[in-house]
């Protein structure tokens, strides 16, 4: 087949385009691969510290590709900030266990829990609402075990 060139040694690095098998690609190492819009994970905002940016990447990499829409980024950035602050406060709490440090660490932890739930990162956030479960159960036929039919 004309137009075939040698394939790269690392075939796993190449994305598949539709139903075209990799061996039929006309691969040129100097030609860039196509970029699909929205095919990348959101990068951490520039205003985050190094530790906050690492927390951002850890959270984003743990979720499916399009899990975080642009509208969730401010909440995700706040979560990263609170998580980094909680780490610093935990270290300070180990060195100097005062009531003020315990209270501040508790506040940071509560915000982490709240934001994680809002972003549906925790199991509680992924669970259906209790009222919807009641609605589903209310439609089920009720059988009283003591009545023989």
Q: Which residue has the tokens 């969730």?
A: 72
pLDDT category of residue 30 using cuts at 50, 70 and 90: low
pLDDT category of residue 3 using cuts at 50, 70 and 90: very low
List the domain boundaries for the chain: 50-123
The confidence score (pLDDT) of residue 91 equals 94
Asked whether the beta carbons of 105 and 89 are under 8 A apart, the reply is yes
DSSP state of 47: T
Angstrom distance (rounded) from CA 107 to CA 86: 9
Q: What is the mean pLDDT of the chain?
A: 76
Greater confidence, 120 or 17? 120
Pick left, alpha or beta for residue 120 (phi over 0 → left; psi -120 to 50 → alpha; otherwise beta).
left
The confidence score (pLDDT) of residue 126 equals 55
Q: Is the pLDDT of residue 105 over 60?
A: yes
The confidence score (pLDDT) of residue 6 equals 45
Asked whether the beta carbons of 74 and 44 are under 8 A apart, the reply is no
CA 119 to chain centre: 9
Reduce the secondary structure of 110-148 to three states and give it as a string: HHHHHHHHHCCCCHHHHCCCHHHHHHHHHCCCCCCCCCC
Angstrom distance (rounded) from CA 130 to CA 47: 38
Greater confidence, 129 or 75? 75
Distances in Å between the alpha carbon of 87 and those of 21, 62, 92, 123?
48, 20, 9, 22
Greater confidence, 93 or 34? 93
Greater confidence, 109 or 26? 109
The confidence score (pLDDT) of residue 22 equals 53
Nearest residue to 78 (alpha-carbon basis) of 124, 44, 103, 43: 44
pTM: 0.60
């Amino acid at each position: 087949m004309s137009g075939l060139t040698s394939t790269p040694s690392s075939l796993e690095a190449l994305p598949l385009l539709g139903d075209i098998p990799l061996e039929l690609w006309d691969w040129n190492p100097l030609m860039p691969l196509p970029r699909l819009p929205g095919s990348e994970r959101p990068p951490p905002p520039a205003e985050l510290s190094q530790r906050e940016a690492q927390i951002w990447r850890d959270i984003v990499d743990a979720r499916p590709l399009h899990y975080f829409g642009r509208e969730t980024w401010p909440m995700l950035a706040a979560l990263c900030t609170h998580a980094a602050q909680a780490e610093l406060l935990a270290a300070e709490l180990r060195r100097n266990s005062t009531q003020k440090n315990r209270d501040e660490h508790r506040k940071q932890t509560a915000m982490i829990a709240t934001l994680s739930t809002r972003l549906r990162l925790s199991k509680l956030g992924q669970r259906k609402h209790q009222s919807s479960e009641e609605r589903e159960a209310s439609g089920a036929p009720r059988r009283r075990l003591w009545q023989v039919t």
